[in-house]
Amino acid sequence: MFGSNREGGRTSHEIVMAAYGQTQYSPALQPAGPYTPYAHHSQGYSMPSYNIKTEDGLSHSPGQTGLLGYSNFSSTPPSQSLIICNFILCDGVSGEYHPPPSPPTPGKEEGVSARRGSDGKLRGRKRVSDPAPPLDSDIERVFIWDLDETIIIFHSLLTGTFSSRFGKDSSKAVSLGLWMEEMIFNLADSRLFFNDLEECDQVHIDDVASDDNGQDLSTYNFGSDGFQTPAGAGSLCLGSGVHGGVDWMRKLAFRYRRVKEIYNTYKNNVGGLLGSPKREEWLQLRREMEVLTDLWLTQALKALALINSRPNCVNVLVTTTQLIPALSKVLLYGLGSAFPIENIYSATKTGKESCFERVSQRFGRRAVYVVIGDGAEEETVAKKKNMPFWRVSCRADLEALSHALELDYL
């Protein structure tokens, strides 16, 4: 376990990290922001057209946990260990499938407008304190995860980075990435109010909760409440301290509350949220992506489950994806059981350092924070805050992480 004891000038966590090839830290780190835009691919890639919409820095991957039959790790070093995974894909549904009624939705499912670019992106209200419940004094270790290319493989499928690095079929990788991208935005637009909320993005799901008067939303009509003006909502959400009136802010808060309800209701039943035939498409996509990525997500889910099995540890997600598409990704990749919605933060507006500070304020200074990611930004912030950093550059790094967790080294 991590501690403050030093041996030969190094802390115990540095010794553990070094044993797994995790040198603290990479030299000459360069600052990194959200993923750069990628060009839209017009070719078919042996798949039907999905009317794809593109967005900066968005991640991917559907899935419900379907992890069975992991072999125990031997006592050999992680680099010499082999993990045998029997990956069984299901979404917890047995027998005849009867999807539950879909929740009330934005009412804009038809004729979805094209994605807006990042230029001129307007910001929502910034809150200093986290409206989460009081600090849990029992939490001893907080694992702060990056999403894209750490837990899930998405952006690198679209850019071709993953296929070139790991010797995969490039056209297949791009087509699966585009398919996943379409599903991410379809879910975000049709169920999670992304058309309404894109220009009023928040860091945390509860950041506008103080504007919510608690009104019953069971019969509320989001499609006709006048939330958006003909010119769009952007003029009403101009950054810190400048907003629409009280009535408009209340409607904004209603939408984020409804998103939270949908997430909590369907995080373990994504198939029920999608309905047929989208559910079948999603399951097929999950299978194909896991084959292409050599069970990358499966291995990440194992590490997440090991952490969640401990009463004194917690998983937190900090991503450069906007909050609503990030929630869509989390649901589609089957990560809902690993990350309560209160533990998901979007660094799109504020950067990861600000999010890390919010997380440390929430759980307290006595907890140990372990950062897991693939990018320079999270590594730089981890170094600045003296947090152990576990670098993920390939699936073997996730296997080594699970090994260290199983032996209680982390």
pLDDT tens for 274-331 read 999 999 999 999 999 999 999 999 999 999 999 999 988 999 999 999 999 999 999 9
146 is an annotated ligand-binding site residue: yes
Our CA dihedral for 117, 259, 264, 180, rounded to 10 degrees, sits at -30
User: Within a domain: residue 255?
Assistant: yes
Output the pLDDT for position 244. Answer: 63
Q: Is the pLDDT of residue 15 over 70?
A: no
Pick the range with the lowest mean pLDDT from 11-25, 47-61, 373-387. 47-61
- Which of residues 89 and 335 earns the better pLDDT score? 335
**Please, are residues 342 and 333 in contact by the beta-carbon 8 Å criterion?**
no
User: Within a domain: residue 232?
Assistant: no
Range 136-163 average pLDDT: 94
Distance CA 69, CA 49 (A): 37
63-80, pLDDT tens digit by residue?
Answer: 333 332 233 333 333 333
Asked if residue 38 has a cis previous peptide bond (ω within 30° of 0), the answer is no
Output the pLDDT for position 1. Answer: 52
Ranges assigned E (strand) in 91-170: 141-145
- Residue 180 Cα distances to 14, 16, 67, 154, angstroms: 37, 36, 21, 8
Pick the range with the lowest mean pLDDT from 23-32, 201-210, 212-221, 389-398. 23-32
**Active-site hit among 56, 91, 130, 148:** 148
Q: Is the pLDDT of residue 266 over 90?
A: yes
In the chain, how many domains are there?
A: 1
Output the pLDDT for position 18. Answer: 67
User: Within a domain: residue 219?
Assistant: no
User: Within a domain: residue 296?
Assistant: yes
Q: How confident is the model at residue 237 (pLDDT cuts 50, 70, 90)?
A: low
Cα 300 from chain centroid?
A: 12
CA angle 153, 156, 159 (to 5 degrees): 150
Within 8 A by CB and 6+ apart from 392, the residues are 146, 149, 150, 372, 373, 374, 398, 401
Output the pLDDT for position 22. Answer: 72
How many CB atoms are located within 10 Å of the residue 322 CB? Answer: 26
Distance CA 315, CA 317 (A): 7
Pick the range with the lowest mean pLDDT from 126-140, 148-162, 308-322, 331-345. 126-140
How many CB atoms are located within 10 Å of the residue 229 CB? Answer: 12
**Active-site hit among 56, 130, 146, 212:** 146
Give catalytic status of residue 136 as yes or no: no
Q: How confident is the model at residue 26 (pLDDT cuts 50, 70, 90)?
A: low
Residue 203, domain extent: 141-213+242-407
Range 16-39 average pLDDT: 53
Q: How confident is the model at residue 106 (pLDDT cuts 50, 70, 90)?
A: low
Q: Per DSSP, what are the bridge partners of residue 6?
A: 11
* Among 123, 78, 60, CA closest to 282: 60
User: Within a domain: residue 335?
Assistant: yes
Distance CA 216, CA 194 (A): 21
As a whole number, the mean pLDDT across the chain is 76
Q: Is the pLDDT of residue 103 over 90?
A: no
Sole residue written with tokens 């550059």: 393
Q: How confident is the model at residue 113 (pLDDT cuts 50, 70, 90)?
A: very low
Q: How confident is the model at residue 227 (pLDDT cuts 50, 70, 90)?
A: confident
CATH number at residue 197: 3.40.50.12350
Give catalytic status of residue 146 as yes or no: yes
Numbers of helices and strands, H then E, in the chain: 13, 9
Q: Is the pLDDT of residue 390 over 80?
A: yes
Range 25-40 average pLDDT: 44
Output the pLDDT for position 214. Answer: 95
Output the pLDDT for position 95. Answer: 32
User: Within a domain: residue 274?
Assistant: yes
Instruction: Say what percent of the chain tops pLDDT 70.
Output: 63
Range 348-371 average pLDDT: 95
Instruction: Say what percent of the chain tops pLDDT 90.
Output: 58
Range 350-367 average pLDDT: 94
User: Within a domain: residue 225?
Assistant: no
Q: Is the pLDDT of residue 367 over 90?
A: yes
Q: Per DSSP, what are the bridge partners of residue 141?
A: 313, 368
Output the pLDDT for position 82. Answer: 32
User: Within a domain: residue 307?
Assistant: yes
- Residue 266 Cα distances to 30, 253, 318, angstroms: 39, 20, 21
Distance CA 323, CA 130 (A): 15
